[in-house]
Amino acid sequence: MKNKFLIIQTGDPVPLSAPNGELFADWFIDGMQVSRNIVDVVNVHKRETLPSIDHAVKTYAGILITGSKAMVTESDDWVLKTQSWLRQTMPHKIPVLGICFGHQLLADMLGGEVAYNPKGRRMGLSRCTLSAEAATDPLFQILPQPKFDVLLSHSQTVISPPPKSMVFGHTEADANHLFRYQDFIWGVQYHPEWNADITAGYIKQRSDDLKAEGLQPDLLLAELKDCPEAKKVLSQFVKITSNA
Protein backbone atom coordinates (compact mmCIF):
# COMPACT_ATOMS: atom_id res chain seq x y z
CA MET A 1 0.00 0.00 0.00
CA LYS A 2 1.29 3.45 -0.93
CA ASN A 3 1.48 5.32 2.35
CA LYS A 4 4.08 8.05 1.81
CA PHE A 5 4.09 11.50 0.26
CA LEU A 6 6.71 13.31 -1.78
CA ILE A 7 7.21 17.04 -1.36
CA ILE A 8 9.09 18.60 -4.26
CA GLN A 9 10.68 21.63 -2.63
CA THR A 10 11.40 24.36 -5.17
CA GLY A 11 12.75 27.12 -2.93
CA ASP A 12 13.43 28.32 0.61
CA PRO A 13 11.52 30.78 2.83
CA VAL A 14 12.76 34.32 3.34
CA PRO A 15 14.65 34.70 6.65
CA LEU A 16 12.03 36.90 8.34
CA SER A 17 9.37 34.22 7.80
CA ALA A 18 11.53 31.36 9.05
CA PRO A 19 13.45 32.61 12.11
CA ASN A 20 14.12 29.07 13.32
CA GLY A 21 15.22 27.71 9.97
CA GLU A 22 11.83 26.37 8.92
CA LEU A 23 11.44 25.07 5.38
CA PHE A 24 8.44 25.05 3.07
CA ALA A 25 8.15 21.32 3.66
CA ASP A 26 7.77 21.89 7.40
CA TRP A 27 4.77 24.14 6.82
CA PHE A 28 3.30 21.69 4.32
CA ILE A 29 3.62 18.78 6.75
CA ASP A 30 1.95 20.85 9.47
CA GLY A 31 -0.98 21.60 7.17
CA MET A 32 -1.18 18.03 5.94
CA GLN A 33 -1.42 16.84 9.55
CA VAL A 34 0.84 13.86 8.94
CA SER A 35 3.97 12.47 10.57
CA ARG A 36 7.30 13.64 9.19
CA ASN A 37 8.41 10.04 8.76
CA ILE A 38 5.92 9.40 5.95
CA VAL A 39 7.16 12.35 3.88
CA ASP A 40 10.16 12.45 1.56
CA VAL A 41 11.51 15.85 0.53
CA VAL A 42 13.56 16.54 -2.60
CA ASN A 43 15.11 19.99 -3.07
CA VAL A 44 15.03 20.25 -6.85
CA HIS A 45 16.18 23.87 -6.77
CA LYS A 46 19.40 22.58 -5.20
CA ARG A 47 19.72 19.96 -7.94
CA GLU A 48 18.75 17.03 -5.75
CA THR A 49 17.63 14.03 -7.78
CA LEU A 50 14.02 12.95 -7.89
CA PRO A 51 13.37 9.23 -7.30
CA SER A 52 12.93 6.77 -10.12
CA ILE A 53 9.47 6.65 -11.65
CA ASP A 54 9.15 3.02 -10.57
CA HIS A 55 9.92 3.95 -6.97
CA ALA A 56 7.47 6.87 -7.08
CA VAL A 57 4.67 4.70 -8.44
CA LYS A 58 5.20 2.05 -5.76
CA THR A 59 5.72 4.43 -2.85
CA TYR A 60 3.76 7.68 -3.03
CA ALA A 61 0.09 8.25 -2.40
CA GLY A 62 0.56 11.85 -3.53
CA ILE A 63 3.08 14.46 -4.69
CA LEU A 64 3.12 18.11 -3.58
CA ILE A 65 5.08 20.98 -5.16
CA THR A 66 5.99 24.07 -3.11
CA GLY A 67 6.35 27.73 -3.87
CA SER A 68 9.59 29.39 -4.95
CA LYS A 69 11.23 32.74 -5.63
CA ALA A 70 12.02 31.38 -9.10
CA MET A 71 9.90 32.30 -12.09
CA VAL A 72 8.46 29.58 -14.31
CA THR A 73 9.09 31.69 -17.41
CA GLU A 74 12.84 31.72 -16.77
CA SER A 75 12.88 27.99 -17.60
CA ASP A 76 15.74 27.07 -15.25
CA ASP A 77 17.19 23.65 -15.96
CA TRP A 78 15.89 22.22 -12.68
CA VAL A 79 12.38 23.46 -13.53
CA LEU A 80 12.47 21.74 -16.92
CA LYS A 81 13.84 18.54 -15.37
CA THR A 82 11.10 18.57 -12.72
CA GLN A 83 8.43 19.04 -15.38
CA SER A 84 9.93 16.19 -17.41
CA TRP A 85 9.87 13.91 -14.37
CA LEU A 86 6.27 14.84 -13.58
CA ARG A 87 5.20 14.09 -17.16
CA GLN A 88 6.65 10.60 -16.77
CA THR A 89 4.51 10.03 -13.68
CA MET A 90 1.29 11.08 -15.41
CA PRO A 91 0.43 7.72 -17.04
CA HIS A 92 0.43 6.27 -13.50
CA LYS A 93 -1.97 8.95 -12.21
CA ILE A 94 -0.21 9.70 -8.94
CA PRO A 95 -2.21 12.59 -7.44
CA VAL A 96 -0.33 15.89 -7.61
CA LEU A 97 -0.95 19.23 -5.85
CA GLY A 98 1.00 22.33 -6.85
CA ILE A 99 1.05 25.43 -4.63
CA CYS A 100 1.83 28.96 -5.97
CA PHE A 101 4.99 28.37 -8.06
CA GLY A 102 4.01 24.69 -8.11
CA HIS A 103 0.59 25.67 -9.46
CA GLN A 104 2.24 27.68 -12.22
CA LEU A 105 4.80 24.96 -12.98
CA LEU A 106 1.99 22.46 -13.53
CA ALA A 107 -0.07 24.85 -15.65
CA ASP A 108 2.93 25.55 -17.88
CA MET A 109 3.78 21.85 -18.14
CA LEU A 110 0.22 20.97 -19.16
CA GLY A 111 -0.01 23.55 -21.94
CA GLY A 112 -1.32 26.61 -20.10
CA GLU A 113 0.26 30.06 -20.17
CA VAL A 114 2.18 31.60 -17.27
CA ALA A 115 3.39 35.21 -17.27
CA TYR A 116 3.84 38.23 -15.05
CA ASN A 117 0.46 39.38 -13.81
CA PRO A 118 -0.63 42.48 -15.74
CA LYS A 119 -2.19 43.72 -12.50
CA GLY A 120 1.15 43.52 -10.70
CA ARG A 121 2.49 41.70 -7.67
CA ARG A 122 0.00 40.35 -5.17
CA MET A 123 0.94 39.90 -1.53
CA GLY A 124 -0.98 39.57 1.71
CA LEU A 125 -4.66 38.89 2.30
CA SER A 126 -7.06 38.35 -0.60
CA ARG A 127 -10.38 36.65 -1.21
CA CYS A 128 -11.06 33.75 -3.55
CA THR A 129 -14.45 33.22 -5.16
CA LEU A 130 -15.36 29.62 -5.97
CA SER A 131 -17.35 28.36 -8.92
CA ALA A 132 -20.45 26.30 -8.16
CA GLU A 133 -18.61 23.24 -9.54
CA ALA A 134 -16.04 23.46 -6.74
CA ALA A 135 -18.55 21.77 -4.46
CA THR A 136 -18.25 18.62 -6.58
CA ASP A 137 -14.45 18.50 -6.70
CA PRO A 138 -12.82 16.02 -4.28
CA LEU A 139 -10.22 18.56 -3.16
CA PHE A 140 -11.97 21.91 -3.37
CA GLN A 141 -15.28 20.79 -1.87
CA ILE A 142 -13.66 21.29 1.55
CA LEU A 143 -13.53 25.06 0.93
CA PRO A 144 -16.42 27.29 2.04
CA GLN A 145 -18.76 28.56 -0.68
CA PRO A 146 -18.92 31.03 -2.24
CA LYS A 147 -15.90 32.99 -0.97
CA PHE A 148 -13.02 32.48 1.46
CA ASP A 149 -9.95 34.40 2.56
CA VAL A 150 -6.48 33.44 1.35
CA LEU A 151 -2.87 34.45 1.90
CA LEU A 152 -0.68 34.94 -1.12
CA SER A 153 2.57 36.24 -2.57
CA HIS A 154 3.29 36.09 -6.29
CA SER A 155 4.28 38.17 -9.30
CA GLN A 156 3.47 35.66 -12.02
CA THR A 157 0.11 34.04 -12.61
CA VAL A 158 -1.64 31.48 -14.79
CA ILE A 159 -2.85 33.62 -17.69
CA SER A 160 -4.48 30.70 -19.49
CA PRO A 161 -5.28 27.38 -17.81
CA PRO A 162 -4.21 24.09 -19.40
CA PRO A 163 -6.46 22.84 -22.20
CA LYS A 164 -9.17 20.48 -20.94
CA SER A 165 -8.66 21.61 -17.34
CA MET A 166 -11.37 22.97 -15.06
CA VAL A 167 -11.02 26.28 -13.21
CA PHE A 168 -12.72 26.35 -9.81
CA GLY A 169 -11.85 29.75 -8.35
CA HIS A 170 -10.61 33.29 -8.97
CA THR A 171 -9.45 36.36 -7.08
CA GLU A 172 -9.60 39.99 -8.16
CA ALA A 173 -6.20 39.65 -9.83
CA ASP A 174 -6.01 35.96 -10.78
CA ALA A 175 -8.66 34.51 -13.06
CA ASN A 176 -7.31 30.97 -12.79
CA HIS A 177 -6.61 30.69 -9.07
CA LEU A 178 -7.65 27.03 -8.67
CA PHE A 179 -7.66 24.37 -11.35
CA ARG A 180 -7.82 20.63 -11.85
CA TYR A 181 -6.44 18.69 -14.79
CA GLN A 182 -8.08 15.33 -15.49
CA ASP A 183 -8.93 13.79 -12.13
CA PHE A 184 -5.58 13.74 -10.34
CA ILE A 185 -3.69 17.03 -10.80
CA TRP A 186 -4.61 20.19 -8.88
CA GLY A 187 -3.14 23.69 -8.84
CA VAL A 188 -3.65 26.31 -6.12
CA GLN A 189 -2.22 29.82 -6.47
CA TYR A 190 -2.60 30.90 -2.84
CA HIS A 191 -0.49 29.60 0.06
CA PRO A 192 -2.57 27.23 2.24
CA GLU A 193 0.54 26.44 4.31
CA TRP A 194 1.01 30.06 5.43
CA ASN A 195 -0.40 31.89 8.43
CA ALA A 196 -0.46 35.62 9.19
CA ASP A 197 2.99 35.58 10.82
CA ILE A 198 4.64 33.86 7.86
CA THR A 199 2.99 36.26 5.45
CA ALA A 200 4.06 39.23 7.58
CA GLY A 201 7.66 38.07 7.29
CA TYR A 202 7.41 38.13 3.51
CA ILE A 203 5.88 41.61 3.50
CA LYS A 204 8.59 42.95 5.82
CA GLN A 205 11.37 41.21 3.89
CA ARG A 206 10.20 42.73 0.61
CA SER A 207 9.04 46.07 1.98
CA ASP A 208 11.34 48.15 -0.24
CA ASP A 209 10.25 46.32 -3.39
CA LEU A 210 6.60 46.71 -2.45
CA LYS A 211 6.99 50.45 -1.92
CA ALA A 212 8.80 50.78 -5.25
CA GLU A 213 5.83 49.09 -6.91
CA GLY A 214 3.35 51.47 -5.33
CA LEU A 215 2.11 49.11 -2.64
CA GLN A 216 1.78 49.94 1.06
CA PRO A 217 3.47 47.39 3.34
CA ASP A 218 1.98 48.86 6.52
CA LEU A 219 -1.53 48.53 5.13
CA LEU A 220 -0.86 44.98 3.93
CA LEU A 221 0.40 44.06 7.40
CA ALA A 222 -2.61 45.63 9.11
CA GLU A 223 -5.01 43.57 6.97
CA LEU A 224 -3.43 40.19 7.74
CA LYS A 225 -5.22 37.39 9.54
CA ASP A 226 -4.95 33.61 9.64
CA CYS A 227 -7.01 31.73 7.04
CA PRO A 228 -7.72 28.31 8.57
CA GLU A 229 -10.40 27.39 6.04
CA ALA A 230 -7.98 27.89 3.15
CA LYS A 231 -5.44 25.62 4.84
CA LYS A 232 -7.77 22.64 4.72
CA VAL A 233 -6.85 21.73 1.13
CA LEU A 234 -3.60 20.22 2.44
CA SER A 235 -5.23 17.78 4.86
CA GLN A 236 -7.98 17.12 2.31
CA PHE A 237 -5.35 16.16 -0.27
CA VAL A 238 -3.98 13.62 2.20
CA LYS A 239 -7.47 12.30 2.86
CA ILE A 240 -8.51 11.80 -0.76
CA THR A 241 -5.18 10.31 -1.84
CA SER A 242 -4.86 7.98 1.13
CA ASN A 243 -8.36 6.66 0.48
CA ALA A 244 -7.86 6.20 -3.24
- Choosing from 128, 154, 193, 227, the catalytic residue is 193
Residue 191 catalytic?
yes
Helices (H), 10-52: 24-32
- Choosing from 45, 103, 177, 191, the catalytic residue is 191
Q: Which residues contact 28 (CB under 8 A, 6 or more apart)?
A: 7, 64, 66, 99, 193, 234
Residue 193 catalytic?
yes
- Choosing from 100, 103, 154, 177, the catalytic residue is 100
Measure the CA–CA gap between 147 and 138, rounded to whole angstroms: 18
State CA 54 to chain mean position distance.
Answer: 25
- Is residue 80 classed exposed, middle or buried when 0-12, 13-18 and 19+ CB atoms within 10 A define those classes? exposed
Amino acid at 132: A
State CA 61 to chain mean position distance.
Answer: 18
Residue 170 catalytic?
no
What is the DSSP-derived secondary structure letter of residue 161? P
Nearest partner of 50 among 87, 13, 6, judged by Cα: 6
Q: How many residues does the chain have?
A: 244
Instruction: Give catalytic residues, as residue numbers.
Output: 100, 191, 193
